[in-house]
Each structure stands twice: as C-alpha cells, then as structure tokens.
C-alpha cells in the first residue's frame, strides 16, 4: 500500500510539525527549507532534533536531500525506555528547545522515558532548564500526569558558545491526558527563583538577587531566590550567569521569566570593538530587567506566561474528546503558530473569545482523543 505524505513548505514551525506528525502518525514531506537563504537547508539543531526522534522511536524513516532543503519523514512507534547513550543537542539551540517536544512524545511512549541531554542549559533564546523544571513540568500535572517518575535533574550547567551542560529527564507514561477548565489566574502570593553562575564570581548572583528584590519587595513579602554557583566540570565550557523567576498565584498558576548572559559567538559580534565584552550585561541590570519582564507577564493576565502558551495549547489538543477551557494573556506569535499547526495536523479549532474586561483571551476546544494504546488500564 502506497504511503500518502502530507506536503509542507518552509522551515517555520519545524519542531511542532515534527511533533504533531509523530503523534498523529502522519508522514510528511517538507520542501523548500531555507532554499533561498545564504545557508540553505536544515540547521544543526533541527538535524539533532530528528536524531532525537529516531532515538526514542522504532521504524522511524528520515530522508534528507544533499542540500538539506527537502525532508521526508515517516513517524515510527514511540518506544521511550531508558536511553543509555546521552543525546548531544549541540550548541546552536539550548536543551529546552528539545525538551518541549520530547516530553509530549515521552508521555505517549510504550515505556517510561529516561534520557540524558547534553548541550546548553541557559541562554537568551530559549527558556532555561530551570524554568522548564519549575513551570512546564508542573503544568503537566494539571492534565493528569502523575508526579511519580516526572523529574528533570541538572547535572551540570552550560552556556553559549561552548555549552557543556547536562540534564537527565525522566517521564512517566499515561493512558491519556485529562481535559481542564483553567481560567482563574488568582493573585500572586509568592515569587521563587534561582540564579546561576559558571566560571565567574559568585558575587554576580548576589548582585542579580539584590536588584530583583529591589523591584519585588515593595510589592510582595514572600520572595525567595536561591543561588547555584558551579565550578569545575559542573560549570560547563563557558563563563556566564543568569536568573530564572517564577510567580505563583493563589490558584496555582505559575508565571515565569528568565535570561542568561554569556560571551557571544565570534560571528555574532564580528566588527565590534572588544568583541568578548560587548554582550556582557552587568548583573544588576540583568536582575532588574528580568524582574520587570516578569511583572509585565503577570500584568498581561492568563494562567501561563507568553512563553508557555504553545505547550498549553498542545496539551489541550492532545486531551480526550472533551472540552478544555483556558485563559491566556495576549496571544503570542508562537501561540498563534501552534493553533495553526494543531488545526493543520489534528483538524481541531479552538473558539477564541477576547475578554475586554481583563484584556485576556478565553479559548475553548475539544481534544483530539489521543490515547496511549500500549498503556493497559489498571
């Protein structure tokens, strides 16, 4: 029987296209991947993501043409299990880029997944592994994922340009997710956070904490920010520092913001005087800046921050054929693209209703009815 392939074009939403193709068992062909750009074809992190999908699946078919501008992908069976060989995520994107699709694959695997990922743990492009641990993993519990067997352990830190970080992800398997009615944001009751520093003075962390607390303390008394200074092998291969903050509300919502500072790659600072120092923001500015960004995320409203809208929509879409109702702040570009990909692959549409009183957005949609057929009902 001839396999029918869904045909797509371009490099946009590559990660979600791959994920949704796998979960819906839809073979895809993607043409014209950066065909007209200076560096055409798939980038290193996208090839690494394909290899990761191959690692956790059986009978997965991946074909890439010589220029990397065309991909033929036929999903296999998501196996999961304990992966004894670490996966190298490279240094062009952080580990969190790989974690979001990986957790959704792992939940519907045949066996509980445990895997080690190596690369960059903290940068300014993607959410940090700290934010992923404190915000994304608790979100899964809202959808019925058991806490037992769900963990992310940070073995070592790694920042650009040379990485060197390592995390161990463990996931349970579920028979299905649970639909949610999650529209009450509540009021912020506490703020938690963590700073890190690698191959620089630990005083950088104290400066970030003082600056962040200077913003929060007049507004809230329950503020605790912990430190994580790494040295030696646990500090990775490059110097850097950063901070991850999470606001918890009275209804259990978690709103996050983070950033990291490190030496840019040489090509990112070419032509600038004193290339190695151009992108090193003072730690006081880092702490103050990220605190204000978190306040902005809180002010936008919604049960998650703008960074996690895409994950929230995907979880709702993968629920049983029951309605979920959620509230978010202003729809992010990533959130809008996620809704389009859900429509294209799962044939699901959310009813979107702006709430003029709170400037937030209510979404209601029925799940795809995703079930883990290898998971027996106990």
> Which CATH number belongs to the domain containing residue 37 in this structure?
3.30.110
157/121 Cα distance (integer angstroms): 6
Q: What is the pLDDT of residue 377?
A: 40
255/188 Cα distance (integer angstroms): 9
Q: What is the pLDDT of residue 58?
A: 96
Q: Are residues 18 and 62 in the same domain?
A: yes
Q: Is residue 135 part of a domain?
A: no
324/287 Cα distance (integer angstroms): 36
Q: Are residues 290 and 307 in the same domain?
A: no
Listing DSSP states for 224-256 in one string gives EEEEEEE-GGGGTTS-EEEEEEEEEETT--EEE
Q: Is residue 273 part of a domain?
A: no
Q: What is the pLDDT of residue 280?
A: 77
Q: Is residue 161 part of a domain?
A: no
Q: What is the pLDDT of residue 2?
A: 83
Q: Are residues 294 and 338 in the same domain?
A: no
The label of the residue with tokens 């062009």 reads 92
Q: Is residue 177 part of a domain?
A: no
Q: Are residues 285 and 197 in the same domain?
A: yes
Q: Are residues 287 and 210 in the same domain?
A: yes
Length of the chain: 378
Q: Is residue 200 part of a domain?
A: yes
- Cα 104 to Cα 40, 155, 177, distances in angstroms: 29, 22, 11
Can you give the residue range of the structural domain that contains 249?
Answer: 186-265+279-298
Q: Which of 44, 76, 108 is the last residue of a domain?
A: 76
Q: Determine which helix (DSSP H) or strand (DSSP E) holds 225, and give its type and residue range.
A: strand 223-230
Q: Are residues 323 and 286 in the same domain?
A: no
Map 67-130 to HEC letters: CCCCEEEECCEECEEECCCCEECCCCCCHHHHHHHHHHHHHCCCEEEEEEEEECCCCCCCCCHH
323: CATH: 3.30.1370
Q: Determine which helix (DSSP H) or strand (DSSP E) holds 294, and give its type and residue range.
A: helix 283-300
121/139 Cα distance (integer angstroms): 20
Q: Are residues 226 and 312 in the same domain?
A: no
Task: State the pairing for strand pair 351-355/254-262.
Answer: unpaired
Helix 95-107 vs helix 309-317: crossing angle, to nearest 10: 10
323/319 Cα distance (integer angstroms): 9
Q: Is residue 174 part of a domain?
A: no
Q: What is the pLDDT of residue 279?
A: 53
Quick one: CA torsion of 317, 321, 326, 331, rounded to 10 degrees?
A: 30
Mean pLDDT by 10 residues, the chain (378 residues): 92 98 97 96 98 97 97 97 97 97 97 98 97 98 97 98 98 97 97 97 97 98 98 96 98 98 58 44 96 98 98 97 96 98 97 94 95 60
SS3 state of residue 364? strand
Phi and psi, residue 294, nearest 5°: -65, -40
Split into its structural domains, the chain has a count of 3
Q: Which of 76, 91, 108 is the last residue of a domain?
A: 76
For residues 105 and 174, is the Cβ–Cβ distance under 8 A? no
Look up the pTM and report it: 0.94
Q: Are residues 64 and 4 in the same domain?
A: yes
Q: What is the pLDDT of residue 277?
A: 41
Q: Is residue 52 part of a domain?
A: yes
Q: Which of 23, 51, 76 is the last residue of a domain?
A: 76
Q: What is the pLDDT of residue 260?
A: 97
- Cα 180 to Cα 29, 30, 254, 323, 363, distances in angstroms: 34, 33, 16, 8, 11
Q: Is residue 82 part of a domain?
A: no
Cβ atoms within 10 A of the Cβ of 83, count?
17
Q: Determine which helix (DSSP H) or strand (DSSP E) holds 343, and give its type and residue range.
A: helix 333-346
Q: Are residues 308 and 259 in the same domain?
A: no
Closest-CA residue to 123 (of 171, 174, 89): 89
């Amino acid at each position: 029987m001839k396999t029918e392939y869904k045909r797509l074009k371009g490099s946009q939403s590559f990660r979600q296209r791959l994920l949704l193709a796998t979960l819906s068992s839809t073979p895809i062909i993607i043409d014209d991947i950066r065909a007209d750009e200076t560096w055409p074809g798939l980038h290193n992190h996208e090839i690494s993501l394909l290899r990761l999908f191959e690692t956790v699946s059986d009978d997965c078919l991946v074909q890439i043409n010589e220029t990397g501008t065309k991909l033929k992908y036929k999903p296999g069976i998501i196996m999961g299990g304990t992966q004894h060989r670490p996966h190298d995520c490279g240094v062009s994107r952080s580990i969190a880029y790989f974690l979001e699709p990986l957790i959704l694959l792992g939940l519907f695997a045949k066996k509980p997944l445990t895997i080690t990922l190596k690369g960059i743990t903290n940068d300014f492009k993607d959410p940090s592994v700290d934010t992923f641990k404190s915000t994304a993993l608790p979100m899964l519990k809202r959808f019925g994922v058991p806490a037992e067997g769900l963990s992310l352990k940070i073995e070592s830190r790694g920042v650009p340009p040379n990485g060197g970080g390592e995390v161990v992800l463990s996931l349970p398997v579920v028979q299905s997710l649970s639909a949610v009615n999650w529209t009450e944001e509540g009021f912020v009751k506490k703020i938690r956070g963590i700073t890190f520093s690698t191959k620089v003075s630990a005083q950088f962390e104290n400066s970030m904490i003082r600056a962040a607390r200077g913003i929060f303390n007049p507004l809230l008394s329950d503020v605790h920010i912990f430190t994580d200074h790494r040295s030696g092998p646990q500090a990775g291969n490059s110097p850097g520092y950063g901070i991850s903050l999470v606001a918890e509300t009275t209804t259990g919502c978690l709103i996050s913001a983070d950033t990291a500072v490190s030496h840019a790659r040489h090509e990112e600072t070419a032509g600038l005087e004193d290339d190695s120092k151009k992108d090193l923001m003072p730690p006081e500015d880092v702490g103050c800046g990220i605190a204000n960004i978190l306040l902005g995320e809180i002010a936008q409203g919604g049960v998650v921050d703008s960074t996690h809208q895409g994950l929230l929509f995907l979880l709702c879409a993968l629920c049983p054929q029951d309605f979920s109702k959620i509230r978010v702040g202003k729809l992010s570009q990533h959130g809008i693209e996620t809704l389009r990909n859900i429509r294209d692959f799962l044939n699901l549409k959310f009813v979107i209703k702006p709430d003029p009183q709170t400037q937030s957005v209510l979404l209601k949609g029925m799940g795809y009815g995703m079930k883990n057929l290898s998971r027996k009902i106990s």
